[in-house]
Amino acid sequence: MSMGMARASSGLQYPERFYAAASYVGFDGSTSPTKTLTSKFAKSTSLLLYSLYQQASVGPCNVPEPSTWKMVEHGKWASWNQLGTMSSTEAMRLFVKILEEEDPGWYSRASNSVVEPVIEPVIDVQMNHNSKVEPVIENGNSYPETKTISTQNGSEVGTEDKDIVVEGFSSVGVYDQWIAPPVSGQCPKARYEHGAAVVQDKLYIYGGNHNGRYLNDLHVLDLRSWTWSKIEAKAGDESPTTSIPCAGHSLIPWGNKLLSVAGHSKDPSESIQVKVLDLQTATWSTLKTFGKAPASRGGQSVTLVGGTLVIFGGQDAKRTLLNDLHILDLETMTWDEIDAVGVPPSPRSDHTAAVHVERYLLIFGGGSHATCFNDLHVLDLQTMEWSHPTQLGEIPTPRAGHAGVTVGENWFIVGGGDNKSGVSETAVLNMSTLAWSVVTSVQGRVPVASEGLSLVVSSNNGEDVLISFGGYNGRYNNEVYVLKPSHKSTLQSTIIENSVPDSVSAIPNATNATRDAESEFEVGHEGKNWEVVLDSKSKGDVISVLKAEKEELESSLGKEKQHALQLKQELAEAESRNTDLYKELQSVRGQLASEQSRCFKLEVEVAELGQKLQTIGTLQKELELLQRQKAASEQAALNAKQRESSGGVWGWLAGTPPPDQRADDA
């Protein structure tokens, strides 16, 4: 019996369906559960149901292993311990699945113990492409209606299912079908290219484009009451900023905050801005980053991988298409441009991106100025190498402006268009096998066949739910639609299905221990220890998978430890060198200061000597002048003395004429 048929037979959703099943088999506290189990089921099935109940209600086995001679307790412990880290939700589902296979009519017999099963039954709906399509008028819009027939217990069950069904989310039973839940409150203005994110059962919508006008309003939809309300955010105290009208941005949940990354705006900045919305205080601030930030843009993809944001592509303010790759480390708040090897995707915007197993970044679709794409590119975030793998299955048509979200290894793609019409099908890619399949299709001009819509994933009663909002398909939309996918993650369930097969065999293990007379499981064979084991094929598959994963993890862990140790040593050496260099720097600074002081003193002395030299020069000139004056004075004195001496002789001889005169007289 399929899971869809099982849901149709029991009206309760999880976890209520699990609690009803557990109560039915004896886990209600009124009697000994193991005695009730063994009275209804085979001992191997009883042991498996017991271990699944423990896994669902308590969690993974962390109790000490009992002694092997305590056969029953050790068998129970071994069965529980084999489930490993299986999630509580998976344990609940597997518990109910095994019960429904062993006792298909359990729900009808347990109806007296189930209180008010108000949830409508889930019908296993198959896509009927030959169904007659008839339009249904709803809120002024025409939607096609298809009639689908499913089989239950050999009889036909007729249901009338629309492509888009309007009803309360809590009563939605169908899978793989878009449904419009009734919402209340003040709906946001119709828009597209907005940002959307889910934090703690609340869907936040920020910004977008309406009639070419950028928006900056912030709205929240409570996913429990389906009530809209508007948030009046203000500037924060630290790095305050106001919400700038924008579109084509990315809204990323980050703890109890939202990061608004990039986007088109009326007055774009030169580089990407990251705004932070504190949901507790409803305040905006600007994230202070370091390094060279990428050029501002819109229509990019922003993917949260661990503690980093990976930004790819988009279109800048000059309408130039981009295919650059940048990473923002949210711990150091540092930007880094990545020059990956291999052939990157061609420049594009309005594509989608997803990360698989925290290592592989997938890029799908998008558009350029002339065409749309449906290619798939993968970036290995460890080796930073691009690849262009072959896609399998029903490959989606080229599109841009679509939205995507991941559930396990399943990547759901919704909406988008090719510049001619919106895309009607909802596609899913198994990121492990790279195989595409179509989940469902819608008819007519409905919002989920729009460009620029948003898509997020939330949880309702333990099941994943896709939620879309807004978009443009010839008109701007503000409707909310939900879809419960039947595609479940097999990252864990593959191992679970193998490790806990439908038919569990119990193998007697010979031992010399005596029969435990107080055994709650009433072991039927004396001296036998019942243990739940896998059949040979499943056991081999599981062991090989687990061994391979263990070896890979151990190898990776060893390499990481060695790398971390090496980094620590390099860091210690660098710190030591840094300390030595700092000491040398301080010493050089001291010497430099001393030399500067000495130079200053020498400069003062040189200035003083210069002044003295100037003084000496002046004195030298004065000395030369005095010497010349002295020489002149001495010469004048000498001349005067000579004249005086000469004048005395001629006076003595004044009475006697010179000899020449006497001769003339004669």
Helices 43-57 and 16-25 cross at an angle (nearest 10°) of 140
What letter does residue 29 receive in the DSSP assignment? S
- The secondary structure of 334-397 as a DSSP string is EEEE---BS-PPPS-BS-EEEEETTTEEEEEEEE-SS-EEEEEEEEETTTTEEE-PPPEESPPP
194 within domain boundaries: yes
β partners of residue 231:
218
Which tens digit of pLDDT belongs to each residue from 548-604? 777 878 888 888 888 888 888 888 888 888 888 888 888 898 888 888 888 888 888
Q: Residue 400: which of 383, 421, 427 has the closest Cα?
A: 421
**For range 456-477, the mean pLDDT:** 90
The pLDDT value recorded for residue 13 is 65
What letter does residue 20 receive in the DSSP assignment? H
For tokens 């699944």, what's the residue? 52
Question: Phi-psi category of 494—alpha, beta or left, where left has phi over 0 and alpha has psi -120 to 50?
Answer: alpha
Measured CA to CA, the distance from residue 557 to residue 394 in angstroms comes to: 38
Which tens digit of pLDDT belongs to each residue from 603-642? 888 888 888 888 888 888 888 899 888 888 888 888 888 8
The pLDDT value recorded for residue 116 is 36
- Whether 217 and 338 map to the same domain: the answer is yes
- Whether 232 and 374 map to the same domain: the answer is yes
Is the pLDDT score of 505 beyond 50? no
β partners of residue 340:
none
Is the pLDDT score of 227 beyond 70? yes
Is the pLDDT score of 647 beyond 50? yes
- Whether 326 and 453 map to the same domain: the answer is yes
Average pLDDT of the chain is 78
As a whole number of Å, the end-to-end CA separation of the chain is: 188
Amino acid in position 551: E
Burial of 509 (0-12, 13-18, 19+ CB in 10 A): middle
pTM over the 0.85 mark: no
Q: Residue 215: which of 153, 264, 256, 275 has the closest Cα?
A: 264
Q: Residue 530 — very low, low, confident or very high, per pLDDT cuts 50/70/90?
A: very low
Select from 488, 522, 547 the last residue of a domain: 488
Is the pLDDT score of 375 beyond 70? yes
Q: Residue 523: which of 25, 33, 44, 26 has the closest Cα?
A: 44
CB atoms within 10 A of CB 283: 17
- Whether 205 and 312 map to the same domain: the answer is yes
Name the maximum alpha-carbon separation found in the chain: 198
Tokens of 476: 């701007």
The pLDDT value recorded for residue 576 is 86
392 within domain boundaries: yes
Helices 16-25 and 33-40 cross at an angle (nearest 10°) of 80
Is the pLDDT score of 495 beyond 80? no
**For range 450-457, the mean pLDDT:** 96
Tokens of 521: 């499981």
CATH label of the domain that carries residue 33 = 1.20.80.10
* Secondary element (H or E) of residue 652: helix 536-652
**For range 473-498, the mean pLDDT:** 71
504 within domain boundaries: no
Which tens digit of pLDDT belongs to each residue from 53-106? 888 888 888 888 887 667 778 888 888 888 888 888 778 888 888 887 777 777
Most confident of 133-147, 554-568, 647-661: 554-568
Say if CB 289 and CB 342 are below 8 A apart: no
- The secondary structure of 426-477 as a DSSP string is EEEEETTTTEEEEEEE--SS-GGG-BS-EEEEEEETTEEEEEEE--BSSSBB
Contacts of 633 (CB under 8 A, 6+ apart): none
In terms of pLDDT, which residue wins out, 466 or 532?
A: 466
- Whole-number Cα distances in Å, 466 to 223, 326, 440, 486, 492: 12, 28, 13, 11, 21
The pLDDT value recorded for residue 320 is 95
Which tens digit of pLDDT belongs to each residue from 319-330? 999 999 999 999
- The secondary structure of 464-514 as a DSSP string is EEEEEE--BSSSBB--EEEE------HHHHHHHHHHS-SS-EEEEEE-SPP
The pLDDT value recorded for residue 501 is 33
Domain hosting residue 291, numbered range? 177-488
Amino acid in position 27: F
CATH label of the domain that carries residue 428 = 2.120.10.80
* Strand 435-441 versus strand 392-393 pairing type: parallel
The pLDDT value recorded for residue 7 is 34
Most confident of 12-16, 113-117, 412-416, 552-556: 412-416
Phi, psi (degrees; rounded to nearest 5) at 239: 45, 55
Between 188-192, 203-207, 586-590, the lowest mean confidence (pLDDT) is in 586-590
Return the HEC string of 616-632.
HHHHHHHHHHHHHHHHH
- Whether 98 and 182 map to the same domain: the answer is no
CB atoms within 10 A of CB 361: 21
Is the pLDDT score of 304 beyond 80? yes
Measured CA to CA, the distance from residue 181 to residue 35 in angstroms comes to: 45
- Whether 307 and 456 map to the same domain: the answer is yes
Burial of 308 (0-12, 13-18, 19+ CB in 10 A): middle
538 within domain boundaries: no
Between 17-31, 139-153, 357-371, 650-664, the lowest mean confidence (pLDDT) is in 139-153
Q: Residue 235 — very low, low, confident or very high, per pLDDT cuts 50/70/90?
A: confident
Q: Domain tally for the chain?
A: 3
What letter does residue 651 receive in the DSSP assignment? H
499 within domain boundaries: no
Contacts of 482 (CB under 8 A, 6+ apart): 169, 172, 178, 179, 180, 181, 465, 466, 467, 468
- Whether 398 and 294 map to the same domain: the answer is yes
Helices 88-102 and 490-499 cross at an angle (nearest 10°) of 40
Say if CB 203 and CB 223 are below 8 A apart: yes
- Whether 438 and 585 map to the same domain: the answer is no
The pLDDT value recorded for residue 267 is 87
Tokens of 122: 């889930």
Q: Residue 206: which of 195, 190, 193 has the closest Cα?
A: 195
Tokens of 550: 């263990």
Per-position b or e across 421-454, b if 16+ CB within 10 A of its CB = ebbbbbbbbbbeebebeebbbbbbbbbbbbbbbb
- Whether 82 and 200 map to the same domain: the answer is no
Q: Residue 350 — very low, low, confident or very high, per pLDDT cuts 50/70/90?
A: very high
3-class SS of residue 158: strand
The pLDDT value recorded for residue 540 is 58
215 within domain boundaries: yes
Return the HEC string of 52-111.
HHHHHHCCCCCCCCCCCCCHHHHHHHHHHHCCCCCCHHHHHHHHHHHHHHHCCCHHHHCH
* Secondary element (H or E) of residue 214: strand 213-222
Select from 473, 488, 503 the last residue of a domain: 488
Measured CA to CA, the distance from residue 289 to residue 300 in angstroms comes to: 19
Select from 488, 511, 540 the last residue of a domain: 488
561 within domain boundaries: no
Is the pLDDT score of 346 beyond 90? yes
The pLDDT value recorded for residue 32 is 59
- Whether 93 and 236 map to the same domain: the answer is no
Amino acid in position 504: V
- The secondary structure of 293-321 as a DSSP string is PPBP-BS-EEEEETTEEEEEEEE-TT--E
Say if CB 483 and CB 426 are below 8 A apart: yes
Sign of CA dihedral 447, 448, 450, 455: positive
662 within domain boundaries: no
The pLDDT value recorded for residue 214 is 95
Measured CA to CA, the distance from residue 18 to residue 22 in angstroms comes to: 6
- Whether 52 and 183 map to the same domain: the answer is no
Is the pLDDT score of 182 beyond 50? yes
